[in-house]
Amino acid sequence: MMVVMKEDATAEQVDAVIRQVEGVGASAHVSRGELMTVIGVIGDREHVSNIELEGAPGVDHVVPILKPYKLASAQLKKGGRTVIDIDGRKIGGPHFMTIAGPCTVESREVLLEGARTVRDAGASLLRGGAYKPRTSPYSFQGLGDAGLRLLAEAKAETGLPIVTELMDVRDIEAVLEVADVIQVGARNMQNYTLLTEIGRSGRPVLLKRGLSATLEDLLMAAEYVLKEGNEDVILCERGIRTFEPAYRFTLDLMAVPVLKELSHLPVVVDPSHAAGKRDLVLSMSLAAAAAGADGIIVETHPEPDEAICDGPQAVRGEDFADYMRQVERAAALAGKELQPVG
Ligand code: PEP
Ligand code: MN
């Protein structure tokens, strides 16, 4: 349930509620808004229902949250949206963000060239995997630690914050040294140990929807991160597996408005992995912006025909600036604020 404090509630009254909640073995998640403080109460339903909070000093009202995800639920923020600030770039609420870069870090030259293209076109964050989840164990698995070092170099040169995937909890320290946003890939969406550790790290997370995950599964996965006190979770629709073989995955764009109705968290769309083909990426990006997405994460490569992985779906480097302009126009039409230039 959620305890909404009165606008003039004192810090002592908030503390008293927290003590009562913790007294029955539940945990209190305090969210201090501009006008009022809201306390999310998470714990065993039976114990929680025994706490007498209605009418307690400083308490305005108590709202039961019926969804199995509590902290991710839209009810928690009463219509307010989570805005995440990544080194001055914002996502969520009115803000639209473009994240772009290669599928994987291949070499210093290719990464730096791609990073400059992404920066010059005005994208906010650079993506690139050093640890790659590949369907075949015989495919390139990523450069690992060496790839992380190249990402750090690309950040130092372009100033772009980095989004990179963490696959294994054993690599968390190394990834935290470089990642401004940790990506959790579709295949790891339900790796609960990983989600808990990332939650504890406090670093923003881009959580990709699993290939056969429902929206509720995705929100429950987000809950694992939020439960550890990390409020910076970005949800990502990247296509789900259906019976249709004409494209790599089916991009479920209805997930965008529905997730935004169910949750206060920002929602981005990855048109690249859903499409699997470059020709579909622009139209799906425009459709995502029109559907109200808070951002796009897209693959681009200076020479897609030479790319080690996912080349067929990468926007060509020479086309990227034009691609960005069109996506930004669609986002602006949908009422979004673009990132300030420079
Ligand atoms: C990726 O972003 O390169 C990736 C492997 O994505 P997903 O986990 O969505 O397949
Ligand atoms: Mn990829």
What whole-number distance in Å separates Cα of residue 299 and Cα of residue 278? 9
Indicate which ligand has the atom closest to the C-alpha of 307: 2
> Edge-to-edge strand order for the sheet containing 37-42?
27-32, 37-42, 2-5, 59-63
Which residue's CA is minimally distant from atom 8 of ligand 1?
A: 185
Buried b (16+ CB within 10 A) or exposed e, 255-282: bbeebbebbbbbbbbbbbbbbbebebbb
Ligand 1 midpoint to CA 185 (Å):
5
Query: Which atom, in ligand 1's list, is nearest to the CA of 309?
Result: 3
Dihedral angle over CA of 246, 249, 253, 258, nearest 10: 140
| pLDDT (tens place) for every residue of the chain, 342 residues total | 889 899 999 999 999 999 999 999 999 988 877 677 889 898 887 888 888 888 899 999 898 888 889 899 998 888 899 999 999 999 999 999 999 999 999 999 999 999 999 999 999 999 999 999 999 999 999 999 999 999 999 999 999 999 999 999 999 999 999 999 999 999 999 999 999 999 999 999 999 999 999 999 999 999 999 989 899 999 999 999 999 999 999 999 999 999 999 999 999 999 999 999 999 999 999 999 999 999 999 999 999 999 999 999 999 999 999 999 999 999 999 999 998 865
What whole-number distance in Å separates Cα of residue 46 and Cα of residue 43? 9
Please list the helix, strand and coil fractions of the chain in percent, rounded to the nearest 5, in that order. 40, 20, 40
- Residue 12's pLDDT is what? 96
Ligand 1 midpoint to CA 311 (Å):
13
- Looking at residue 71, the DSSP 8-state letter turns out to be T
164 near 208, Cβ under 8 Å? no
Q: Which of 125, 181, 273 to mutate to test the pocket of ligand 1 (most atoms within 8 A of CB)?
A: 273
The first and second tokens of residue 204, run together, are: 């923003």
Ligand 2 midpoint to CA 4 (Å):
42
Tens-digit pLDDT profile for residues 116-131: 999 999 999 999 999 9
What whole-number distance in Å separates Cα of residue 225 and Cα of residue 204? 10
Which residue's CA is minimally distant from atom 9 of ligand 1?
A: 186
Q: Which of 99, 183, 184, 248 to mutate to test the pocket of ligand 1 (most atoms within 8 A of CB)?
A: 183
Which residue's CA is minimally distant from atom 1 of ligand 1?
A: 103
Looking only at the bridges linking them, the beta strands covering 2-5 and 27-32 are unpaired
Amino acid residing at 92: G
Ranges of beta strands (E only) in 8-151 are 27-32, 37-42, 59-63, 84-86, 89-91, 97-101, 125-127
Pocket of ligand 1 (CB under 6 A): 103, 129, 133, 185-187, 208, 238, 270, 273
Indicate which ligand has the atom closest to the C-alpha of 185: 1
- Residue 206's pLDDT is what? 98
Looking only at the bridges linking them, the beta strands covering 295-301 and 267-269 are parallel
Ligand 2 midpoint to CA 316 (Å):
14
- Residue 342's pLDDT is what? 59
Tens-digit pLDDT profile for residues 211-240: 999 999 999 999 999 989 899 999 999 999
Which residue's CA is minimally distant from atom 4 of ligand 1?
A: 185
Question: Which phi and psi angles does 221 have, rounded to 5°?
Answer: -65, -40
Query: Which atom, in ligand 1's list, is nearest to the CA of 185?
Result: 8
77: helix, coil or strand?
helix
Which residue's CA is minimally distant from atom 10 of ligand 1?
A: 186
Query: Which atom, in ligand 1's list, is nearest to the CA of 129?
Result: 3
- Residue 317's pLDDT is what? 98
143 near 130, Cβ under 8 Å? yes
Question: Around Cβ 324, how many Cβ atoms within 10 Å?
Answer: 24
- Residue 221's pLDDT is what? 98
